[in-house]
């Protein structure tokens, strides 16, 4: 249980900014929703309707780089490519040849580090074929292989995205 300030939802964003500016917002804890109100955790007494509430800590997620550090040597970390592309919940990574034997472990590390990623594929650097596409290999996956991709505020449904992924990957 902790102390919080109860704010109507309509004023929540402005109140949050005010609490931050005044240095009393407890950023280690998540706000709580109560019907038409938001309860922001505070570190000190504050003007407004203060209440007791059960706040949960923010979970800290590892970065992709932090997730692979335990099983890569210093030399391997020098060649490791930590950036990746996403299509909906599918990540496409590039694994250098020096790390080919660890690519499945690297793929699983990305799944563990980024909860929004559900499938990891590795890509070759060579483009080929009539459409100049890069082939990919499946590294790690949570079933089912369905995703939603948003482009310029247009949401493609899972069937269309599935077709796009199959033709492009």
Interval 34-89: pLDDT, tens:
889 999 999 877 776 788 888 888 766 678 888 898 999 999 999 999 899 888 78
- Per-residue confidence (pLDDT) for residue 27, from 0 to 100: 86
Residues 121 and 138: beta-carbon distance below 8 Å? yes
Q: What is the pLDDT of residue 146?
A: 66
Sole residue written with tokens 């919080």: 4
State the residue for tokens 């909860």: 115
Q: How far apart are CA 160 and CA 150, in angstroms?
A: 12
Confidence of residue 22 (pLDDT cuts 50, 70, 90): confident
Question: How many angstroms separate the CA atoms of 30 and 91, rounded?
Answer: 28
Give the separation between CA 43 and CA 59, rounded to whole angstroms.
19
Which domains, from first to last, does the chain contain?
2-53 (3.30.70.2580), 64-142 (3.30.300.110)
Q: Determine what percent of the chain is predicted with pLDDT higher than 70.
A: 79
Which residues are paired to 49 by β-bridges?
Answer: 6
What is residue 78's predicted lDDT score, i.e. its pLDDT? 92
pLDDT at 144: 60
Cβ proximity of 2 and 29 under 8 Å: yes
CA pair distance 87, 67, nearest whole angstrom: 21
The pLDDT value recorded for residue 65 is 87
The per-residue pLDDT for 163 is 45
Is the pLDDT at 105 greater than 90? The verdict is yes
pLDDT for the residue numbered 166: 45
Looking at per-residue pLDDT, the higher value among 130 and 89 belongs to 89
The confidence score (pLDDT) of residue 59 equals: 67
Rg (CA), the chain: 22
pLDDT at 98: 92
Candidate ranges 93-97, 138-142, 149-153, 161-165; pick with highest mean pLDDT:
93-97
pLDDT computed for residue 156 by the predictor: 62
Can you give the pLDDT at residue 165?
A: 47
């Amino acid at each position: 249980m902790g102390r919080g300030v109860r704010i109507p939802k309509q004023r929540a964003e402005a109140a949050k900014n005010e609490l931050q500016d005044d240095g009393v917002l407890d950023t280690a804890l998540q706000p709580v929703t109560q019907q038409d109100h938001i309860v922001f955790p505070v570190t000190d007494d504050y003007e407004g309707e203060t209440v007791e509430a059960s706040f949960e800590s923010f979970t800290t997620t590892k970065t992709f780089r932090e997730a692979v550090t335990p099983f890569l040597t210093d030399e391997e970390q020098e060649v490791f490519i930590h950036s990746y592309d996403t299509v909906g919940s599918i990540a496409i990574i590039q694994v250098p040849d020096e790390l080919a034997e660890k690519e499945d472990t690297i793929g699983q590390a990305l799944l563990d580090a980024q909860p929004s990623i559900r499938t990891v594929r590795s890509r070759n650097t060579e483009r080929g074929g009539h459409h100049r596409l890069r082939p990919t290999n499946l590294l790690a996956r949570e079933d089912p292989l369905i995703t939603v991709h948003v482009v310029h505020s247009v949401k493609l449904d899972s069937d269309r995205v599935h077709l796009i992924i199959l033709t492009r990957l």
